[in-house]
Amino acid sequence: MSDCLFCAIAAGDISTDRLHEDEHVVAFRDINPQAPTHVLVIPREHVASAAELTSDHDALWAHMLHVAQQLARSEGIDSSGFRIVTNIGHDGGQTVNHLHLHLLGGRPMHWPPG
Ligand code: 5GP
Ligand code: ZN
**Is 20 designated active site?**
no
Over 90: is that where the pLDDT of 4 sits? yes
> With helix as H, strand as E and coil as C, how does 42-59 read?
EECCCCCCHHHCCHHHHH
What does the pLDDT read at residue 76? Answer: 98
Report pLDDT digits (tens) over 70-104.
Answer: 999 999 999 999 999 999 999 999 999 999 999 99
What distance in angstroms lies between residue 25's CA and the mean position of ligand 2's atoms? 12
Over 90: is that where the pLDDT of 2 sits? no
Sorting pLDDT into bands at 50, 70 and 90, what band is 22? very high
Q: How far apart are CA 107 and CA 75, in angstroms?
A: 13
Q: What distances in angstroms separate CA 17 from CA 11, 12, 50, 88, 111, one per listed residue?
A: 14, 11, 24, 24, 29
Contact 49, 88 (CB under 8 A): yes
What distance in angstroms lies between residue 99's CA and the mean position of ligand 1's atoms? 11
